[in-house]
Structure 1
Amino acid sequence: MRVLIVDDEPLILNGLVKIVREIAPVGTEVREALNAPEALETMKVYMPDVTITDINMPEMNGFELLEEARREGLCKRFIILTGYDEFEYVRQALRSGVVDYLLKPLDKEEIAALLERVEDELPTAADSEYSRHAERILAYMQSNYMNDLSLDHLAHRMNLHPNYISSLFRKETGDTFVNYLNSLRIREAQRLLRTQRHLNVCAIGQQVGYDTKHYFTKVFKKYTGATPGAYREDEQVNEGETDSEREGDGQ
């Protein structure tokens, strides 16, 4: 199991690391970070199974770290630490879906039981590593599909080989990287064509990641069977028919 501990006070951080190494399940690897930005950089390489983090830190607090890490697919299990016994912190921690909420100073038996529970919930080592990579890559694509993405870009960003990512995509989604990316973009384009009537086709294409109207139209037609303009017109007609049916029902 991989554990990351984050606290901006060096003495407290060293104490936390010592405690966790002492009581964690056999084979647990522990790393540390003095602030949230450092933690995020560590996560990109380390991919922790669980992150133990203080709430009150400069630059970015523990909840902001949690949100950013989950958005990037870097870690999904968090244990929140704080020295403030306030219900608002407890409520926010529970809303954030953390594993648990602990007050400083740590109770060794409590944290030991908690880490054992986390380890019991983890898949096997091989599956766990594969799942971590898959979750991180798919989460990154969900948030960045509108940008200039490629296998090489992902490989550099994730510190993985392009062939590994390509294989992962087929196993995880049953699709190729290119098809998966285009599907993400076209689904969002369909939503925008239905809901953002004030945006023209070119603007929507650029908003979902296509530089030119011509290429956007070509890809959109390949995946939907219609051009963006025809799709929007069909949606308007269908909505009009629905309105007419409602009026007829009301007569």
Structure 2
Amino acid sequence: MRILVVDDELIIRKGIIKLLETLYQAGASLDEARNGEEAMQKVAEHKPDLIITDIQMPIMNGLELIGALRNAYPDIEWVILTGYAEFAYVQQALRHQVADYLLKPVTQENLNEVISKVLLKDPAKWTSRMDMASISIIKDIVTSLVKAVISENVPELDSALDKWRIYCQEQEFPLIQIKQMMGYVQLLFRSELFLNIKLSAPDESSAINQSSMSIEELLDKWRDYLLAQMAAVADNRAPRNKRIVDDVLLYIEQNYHDPGLGLSVLADRTGVTTAYLSKIFREVMRKPITQYIGEFRLEQARRLLKEDETAKINAIAEQCGFQDYPYFSKVFKKFFGISPLEFREKNR
């Protein structure tokens, strides 16, 4: 993949090059130009796949550059750089069918997202040397691998790799061609993974390809790489899961009196699905969320029965989220081994 960065400000230009080097440790050819006129020369010499250009530049600005090259090089993808004050130019650029834009100052996350969107918009464009059947298989394999990594599903990962192994063997691809295709697999895998969970997987395609002497060794090393990404996803997810559960625990503490408090309410509050919240709550707290709510309410009821001797037991039950007094009495006795009335008499 050949990328040209065009900006008249040296610091910005070098900064974007540095971010791109972080994104692509290997597998990308990076070049730069100070203005549109210099960029025209670079395009004629190297025919880049993607151009990231500033709008406001001397000699020839970004919009003029796009207009001059769009017809001659229709396959080039364009991303424009703009500040908030120049945002009106974005609409003009979009009329030139620009793929996306980046607001200054450019961050690694924003750059990763934009590049990933460009790559996934038309994967066949970046795999043009392959036949359509191989491109289709690669897209399916990448989708399966990303799904397996995100869900931490090793059998699904192995199934996807086996499908790819069988396809390569059936087509009798030489090892050098499989290595090239695996470069495309990684390119799309990293892009799709980032767009799904904002996690940047390292670019190790070059190192894996160079050190592999057979298809079996190549795919075994890719499996190790993907398992490492799965572990990274788990590590990245754990602190977030803990924060979600902590937020849920605090909300339960503050709203246990609400009889409508339950899994769906808590999932809506935290912005995750009920299935996902149920799963991570079990992992962190070692018990179902409904069980935790019920036990928390019972502990609060026991505290109030002990602290407030004048309050009616059914009022305390309602105060703790229990609308049905017989049910409250039943679960209280089951949990503490004594009825609410007996508990109160015992603690007078």
Give the TM-score taking structure 2 as reference length.
Answer: 0.34
Higher helix share: 2
Give the TM-score taking structure 1 as reference length.
Answer: 0.47
